[in-house]
Amino acid sequence: MLVDDSLTVNHQVIFNLLLISCEVPLGLLFSICVSCATGRADEGTNASIPLAYIGVMATHLETNLGLLQELINKDPESYKEEFLAEYNFYIKTIQLLRLQPSLNHADLQSLLELINFLASASTHYPKEGTEYAASIMEILNSRLTGLDPEIRVAFCKALVILRNRRIVDPLAVMDLFFTLVPCEDKNLRKFICGSIKALIKKLTLQYRDQKMLSKVRTFLFTKLKDSRSIVVRTAELVLIDGFRKGFLKDAKTANALAECCLHKISRIQIAAIRFFLGSLEDNDSDDDESASEEDQKTLKEVVVAYKAAKKTRKKKERYMKAKKLLSKGKKSKNENAGKFCNLLAIRYIYDPQTFAERLFGLLENRKNEKFETRLLCMALCARLIGTHRLQALSFYSYMHRFLQPKQREITRILLYVAQACHELVPPDIIEQLVYVIAQNFVSDRNTPEAVTVGLNTIREIFANCPFAATEDLLRDLTDYKRFKNKNVSMAARGIITLFRAVNPKLLHRKDRGRPTQKLKDLKVAEFGVEYAKEFVEGAECLPVEADAIDRELVQNDESDDTDFDSDFDTEFVEHDSLDSDVNMDSCGNHVVVTDICVNNARSPNKESLETNDQKITFSDTKKKARRVCETRILTQNDFRKINAFRLKQQVGYDGKRRNDDMKLEEELGETIARHNEENGLTRLKDIEKFHKKLRKETKEERVETVKKGREGRQQFGKPKKAGAHVGRTNRELMKRKNFQMVRHKLRGKNRQRSFKDRQESLRKYLLRQAGRKI
């Protein structure tokens, strides 16, 4: 900034400059402060500021670019000459750099600071900013490998700043960045990936520019077809990150990444396959919020129920146990969120049948690939077949060669086989597959662990397609329920529990369990036959709408002279207690009157409503459930009651049952519930399920198990204090004391001794003095 002799100097600017300069006297600074505070500057003060100090300030501005940038941001027009001076200095430095590519450390640091300063300050001067961006792009295009790595990264950072200020086109910057990707500079590649990801995030969240976002996505799709592998991999990583974070979560991105699964470069292929197999489960944020709200609602209900009831020790234990189960379930849900495949991306594939056939052909033809790559291809093929219910019959025969107990990663291969089985696969194909597993795993010549894994796999396959089972095969498999190893016997009994619920006629008569009306009316699954649901199972626990019952009563009153209105006026009360909803075996003295109760009251052959031991047949229960579904709209609260009712039905058997049977029934309920959900794929822990530890636990593991079992339990007894001498008696502590601390006690002991003790002590002393043995 040039200052004329006849002009009055701006005291505030001078003070800011002099404050940084170390050559200005302290008295002069104080006088400037006083003059600025009083708002006046007398002639003496102006005279005491020589113009030599103004030259010092100008020199300081040239060296302190940060201060100059701050001043430019406040008043760009006043400091345009200083900016142009720095810009001209930059142009000369670049000309020198072309002649002499290598710079010493001092010149390099000054150039880096100058590049950053011009990128930040050129936004106030559009013409110079455009020229500056063009010069950077020209330098990077002409000299890809000749530049110093730090200067190259600094130029890229400057381009990102100019791109964010809308001075340069984002697509031009992206094109230049992908030109720089082949440079062997790890830091540069990392910065380029991060800058492109940040651009996509800004276009989605901040600018909301869908048109530019579509152009960026199309540009990345074209880079996936590039001949240079590093360019393809960079574009692939950017698209994967955009899909996972929700910025590019659409079918076009998923299908573009699906083509990368067939790439000839194994590194690109593995990255795409891992994306579809899923290191993260892409749940919508709305679903997560609704799930958390549901958990909070359930927890709130538990807390309110506990506070309203009478406080007893048993109720407190139940309350703490319920809280623990809720928190544990939520924690396991969050922990397991990343262990399932990316089903959303798999469902987005346009032609999954063709894609699976191409991927399987690649798996068959490439025999020299690494085993890990082939394993990933198997996993993706299996999940494609299981998710889309594809017909890839050659995949099952191809997997026969790997079904050996000594095969590497055999449990994962068995998992992929189970995931590829679904209800549309022909029964003969599944039957051959099960026979191969039974022959290679389920035999006495194998270890109990191999037999257990084989039986678990067969159970999961039959859970997906139970119509493939035969009576002879099931008889052979269920004979292992008497095996001496508990893991094997429990796995065999798991198959028995499955077919008790699916098709009990295939089991031996003594394995079918107690016959019930529900099992008699059970429809056996057949190949290619789908049974439509007429009602929601378990809906009989809900009350029928009162208006529908009133209409039925009015119609019945017209044909019957008996009037029941006075008996039922006070009975149609909506109840909230879950226990009263679930108790459907009695219809008298209850707050809800159902159509079953009305029909029973109408029939002269049945008992009256006052009997509490009345039994409801299975057909009546179906009628009630169908009636409930037809006459009312079910809410989330109703579905919660239905789930609780079905759970009580599963565990509500009054007879004596073993803990193992209860555990198997719970596992079957979880399996059926999981198959009914969208993500019904078999899990690895279902294949590797061992009910008994394979090895003896160490002491540390046993102590840890005991501590986990003690969580939430009431403390008994007085806890020991922490310390180094806890648990020792006073006699032991006395022995460890210093002699000077206890010598005064010895005198007292001597005075209290009897004459005989003193005589014996004297005798031993004299014998020791004489050197004789005592």
Report the pLDDT value the prediction gives residue 10, as an integer from 0 to 100: 47
Contacts of 774 (CB under 8 A, 6+ apart): 764, 767, 768
DSSP 480: G
Higher pLDDT, 668 or 343: 343
Give the total residue count for the chain: 774
Highest mean pLDDT among 123-127, 312-316, 524-528, 744-748: 123-127
CB 231 within 8 A of CB 181: yes
The answer on pLDDT for 585 being more than 90 is: no
Report the pLDDT value the prediction gives residue 299, as an integer from 0 to 100: 61
- Tell which residue, 491, 418, 498, 412, has the closest CA to residue 449: 491
Report the pLDDT value the prediction gives residue 173, as an integer from 0 to 100: 94
3-state secondary structure of 93: helix
Confidence of residue 624 (pLDDT cuts 50, 70, 90): confident
Token duo for residue 245? 């974070």
3-state secondary structure of 178: helix
Report the pLDDT value the prediction gives residue 619, as an integer from 0 to 100: 65
- Taking the chain, what is the end-to-end CA distance rounded to the nearest angstrom? 109
Mean pLDDT of 61-82: 83
The answer on pLDDT for 565 being more than 70 is: no
The answer on pLDDT for 127 being more than 70 is: yes
No. of H helices and E strands in the chain?
A: 39, 0
Report the pLDDT value the prediction gives residue 312, as an integer from 0 to 100: 79
Token duo for residue 221? 């799709």
Residue found under tokens 């152009």: 215
Report the pLDDT value the prediction gives residue 712, as an integer from 0 to 100: 66
Report the pLDDT value the prediction gives residue 652, as an integer from 0 to 100: 46
Higher pLDDT, 135 or 643: 135
Mean pLDDT of 116-142: 90
Residue found under tokens 């006088």: 31
Cα gap 706→704, rounded to integer Å: 5
Confidence of residue 37 (pLDDT cuts 50, 70, 90): very low
- The CA angle 285-288-293, to the nearest 5 degrees, is 125
Confidence of residue 103 (pLDDT cuts 50, 70, 90): low
DSSP 521: T
- From the CB of residue 432, how many other CB atoms can be counted at a distance below 10 Å? 14
Report the pLDDT value the prediction gives residue 211, as an integer from 0 to 100: 93
Cα gap 507→527, rounded to integer Å: 19
CB 774 within 8 A of CB 768: yes
Cα gap 422→675, rounded to integer Å: 11
The answer on pLDDT for 571 being more than 50 is: no
Contacts 24+ apart (CB under 8 A), 569-574: 572/546, 574/543
Report the pLDDT value the prediction gives residue 597, as an integer from 0 to 100: 37
Range name among 53-67, 382-396, 415-429, 522-536 with the lowest pLDDT average:
53-67
Sign of CA dihedral 682, 683, 687, 690: negative
CB 592 within 8 A of CB 546: no
pLDDT tens profile 426-442: 999 999 999 999 999 99
CB 346 within 8 A of CB 387: yes
Domain map (residue ranges) of the chain: 11-63, 369-520, 537-633, 743-774
**DSSP letters along 290-311, please?**
HHHHHHHHHHHHHHHHHHHS--
The answer on pLDDT for 402 being more than 80 is: yes
Confidence of residue 201 (pLDDT cuts 50, 70, 90): very high
Highest mean pLDDT among 400-414, 491-505, 541-555, 609-623: 400-414
What percentage of the chain carries pLDDT values higher than 70? 67
Confidence of residue 26 (pLDDT cuts 50, 70, 90): very low
CA atoms within 13 A on the CB side of 452: 21
Token duo for residue 770? 């004489």
Cα gap 416→382, rounded to integer Å: 5
Report the pLDDT value the prediction gives residue 106, as an integer from 0 to 100: 64
The answer on pLDDT for 420 being more than 70 is: yes
- Tell which residue, 206, 210, 203, 271, has the closest CA to residue 235: 271
Confidence of residue 95 (pLDDT cuts 50, 70, 90): confident
Mean pLDDT, the chain, rounded, equals 76
CB 416 within 8 A of CB 379: yes
Mean pLDDT of 567-581: 38
Burial degree of 287 (CB within 10 A; 0-12, 13-18, 19+):
exposed
Burial 51-88 (b: 16+ CB within 10 A, else e): eebbebbeebbeeebeebbebbeeeeeebeebbeebbe
Residue found under tokens 């950077």: 136
Q: Cα 625 vs. chain centroid, distance in angstroms? A: 37
Mean pLDDT of 301-319: 72
Highest mean pLDDT among 223-232, 328-337, 606-615, 647-656: 223-232
The answer on pLDDT for 595 being more than 60 is: no
What percentage of the chain carries pLDDT values higher than 90? 32
The answer on pLDDT for 526 being more than 90 is: no
The answer on pLDDT for 351 being more than 80 is: yes
**DSSP letters along 735-759, please?**
HTS-HHHHHHHHHHHHHHS-HHHHH
**DSSP letters along 705-727, please?**
HHHHHTTTPPP-SPPPPPSTTTT
Q: Cα 540 vs. chain centroid, distance in angstroms? A: 36
pLDDT tens profile 721-750: 666 666 777 878 778 888 888 777 777 776
Report the pLDDT value the prediction gives residue 554, as an integer from 0 to 100: 45
The answer on pLDDT for 281 being more than 60 is: no
3-state secondary structure of 587: coil
Q: Which helix (H) or strand (E) holds 356?
A: helix 352-365
Highest mean pLDDT among 222-236, 511-525, 716-730: 222-236
Cα gap 188→149, rounded to integer Å: 8
- Tell which residue, 161, 158, 76, has the closest CA to residue 115: 158
- The CA angle 388-345-392, to the nearest 5 degrees, is 30
pLDDT tens profile 444-471: 889 999 999 999 999 999 998 888 899 9
Higher pLDDT, 168 or 4: 168
C-alpha Rg value of the chain to the nearest Å: 41
Confidence of residue 51 (pLDDT cuts 50, 70, 90): very low
Q: Cα 551 vs. chain centroid, distance in angstroms? A: 51
